[in-house]
Structure 1
Amino acid sequence: MVTDYQQAREALGVRLRGLRYTAPGGQITSTQLADALDWPVSKVSKLEHGRQTATRADLRAWAEGTGQAEALPELVSHLAGFETRIRSWRRQLASGQQAVQEYWAAETARSRTIRVWEESTVPGLLQTAAYAQAVLTRYAQLHGSAADTEEAVLVRMRRQEWLYEAGHHLRAVVWEPALRALICPPSVLASQLDRLAGAIGMNTVELGVVPLSAALKISPANSFSILDDRVVAVEDWHAELWLDDAESIALYGKTWSTLRESAVYGAEAHHIIASARRALGAG
């Protein structure tokens, strides 16, 4: 199946090929362009046929190499159009986790209301530093990213200041297994559950828990966040999807509302959190 992302990559490749064909001094061959840019010819071919994702540096080199530097803003716009849809972890984590957390912090700061669904971990805006350290360390190990977890945790903790600013609202729905998953030592999870229990009384937080015993109208799946009906961020193993088209936002809004129908709040949510806490013992 050809994805929207792949179609966008191929469309950018067509535009790049067009620049090569219409160079001011006449058509430039693939070999000539590769030689001029000190690239292998295979890279030119992959970019033109949508088999490789261009970087901004690649686009700049291409525009200048074909004598059409003025085309760069258009090319970058093309790239941004599908980079906002799929942000691969490999590319994002190339320089470490701190940059990813800073991107999230900026998007959070732009938002007034954030709706979250989490099926496996506690939402980032409600994490303790020790819990965040454990989670981010696991992901760093999985993706082999730079060892800047402590810096990333600091950014995540600063992002939580958003919760204490007037006019902000976090509406989080969490599946009960997320309260019991030992992604961290039991003592760390115990403190994290205490933090969650305290969040229930916050004016800016609406925390719902979907019990394991609840009847579900839809199967729990990937975690996602909806920021102000402006953009949806969906997490997967290989990438984050940032979707800003109205159709996708509406679908995820409906999905969130459907999952929320199975959640409990207030004293009932507190009871489930307390039960998970007791299962850990006194740690």
Structure 2
Amino acid sequence: MSTDFQHGREALGARLRELRVEAGLDGKALADRLGWQRSKVSRLQNGHQTATENDLAAWAEAVGAPGQAAELKARLRGLESQQRHWRRQLAAGHTPVQDRYVVEYHRTATVRGYETSVVPGLFQTPDYARRLLAQNAELMRSPRDTDAAVQARMRRQEVLYQPGKLFRVLIWEAALHVVVGTGEEMAGQLDRLVGLIGMSTVELGIVPLGARMPITPKHGFWIFDEERVVVETVNTELQYDSADDLALYGRVWDHLAETAAYGAKAHRLIARARSTVAAT
């Protein structure tokens, strides 16, 4: 269990204890009202057990504060976002993280993603990936296992050739102009993107510069099997699985997809970027 998850669970437990005390109840009295074992009350308020939404609703009712149920459930959803700091994830280097992604992508059938400033790892060439992983290792001051991490990232791409998979990915055109490595390496990366157009498992869209955007998201995100959303920040990986969050990110993706260029139009945008970066 991540430290962040446990800290969140303890904070939720502290709030439950506060409500119990405000109601003038001890643990036994509250357990009797709920028809629970006293040990369950103790585990929940000490952060040793994860409450369900039903548990939280029952607790709020039993302490005479049913109006607090919504707040408690919101805290639970925040807890379930499973915030994972990169510094802890990268303590043993990038390879374990990349290996985890390999497993996750193999068990996922449909992915919708959006990136604003970088070509997604799923589509990266070894040269491009090596540059990014080395930069990130320096930034995070994590162990330098770049070669092994690149190999793991390339293994992730095997899913692109598996029947039954579908990767619907949007990239903001600006990401094509961010030069990673040498001009030659960047040109190779853009050629790789062109090669993905038309694949049965890939639906690649480029959101053009200058497009009239119905919405302006502040970051990239990935939706896995319409069951969870993953958002990466500089220091943290966030995961959301509530129905509201999935619907919100789904709407954002749909709006972006309406502005994206596909097929030959996407090819032209990539070629335009290539003609620029190859000269650097």
TM-score band, normalised by the shorter chain?
0.7 to 0.9
1:280, distance to aligned residue in structure 2 (A) = 2.3
Q: Conserved in 1, the CA contact under 8 Å of 2:240 and 2:246?
A: yes
1:147 to 144, 147, 160: 144
1:282, distance to aligned residue in structure 2 (A) = 6.1
Matches within 5 A, 1:118-157: 118-157=115-154
1:8, distance to aligned residue in structure 2 (A) = 3.6
Q: Conserved in 2, the CA contact under 8 Å of 1:5 and 1:86?
A: no
Aligned AA (2:234): W
Q: Which runs of 5+ in 2 are unaligned?
A: 18-26, 28-42, 52-75
Q: Conserved in 1, the CA contact under 8 Å of 2:114 and 2:169?
A: yes
Q: Which runs of 5+ in 1 are unaligned?
A: 17-21, 23-70
Instruction: Tell me which residue corresponds to 1:10.
Output: 11
1:165, distance to aligned residue in structure 2 (A) = 0.5
Instruction: Tell me which residue corresponds to 2:273.
Output: 276
Deviates more, 1:172-181 or 1:133-142: 133-142
Aligned AA (1:11): L
Q: For 1:5 and 1:237, how far apart are their aligned partners in 2?
A: 22
**1:75 aligns to 2:48 (yes or no):** yes
| Cα distance change on mapping 1:216 and 1:101 into 2, 3 Å | same
Instruction: Tell me which residue corresponds to 2:189.
Output: 192
Instruction: Tell me which residue corresponds to 1:179.
Output: 176
Q: For 2:13 and 2:163, how far apart are their aligned partners in 1?
A: 43
Q: For 2:139 and 2:166, how far apart are their aligned partners in 1?
A: 32
Residue deviations 1:229-264, cap 9 Å, x none? 111100111201011111111111111111111101
Instruction: Tell me which residue corresponds to 1:239.
Output: 236
1:85, distance to aligned residue in structure 2 (A) = 2.1
Matches within 5 A, 1:1-283: 8-12=9-13, 75=48, 82=79, 85-281=82-278
Aligned AA (1:213): G
1:13, distance to aligned residue in structure 2 (A) = 6.0
TM-score by length of 2: 0.74
Aligned AA (2:142): S
Q: Conserved in 2, the CA contact under 8 Å of 1:94 and 1:145?
A: yes
1:129, distance to aligned residue in structure 2 (A) = 0.9
Q: For 1:282 and 1:144, how far apart are their aligned partners in 2?
A: 32
SS in 2 for 1:172: strand
Q: For 2:118 and 2:6, how far apart are their aligned partners in 1?
A: 28
Q: For 2:157 and 2:206, how far apart are their aligned partners in 1?
A: 20
Question: Identity across aligned pairs (percent)?
Answer: 44
| Cα distance change on mapping 1:258 and 1:110 into 2, 3 Å | same
Q: Conserved in 1, the CA contact under 8 Å of 2:179 and 2:277?
A: no
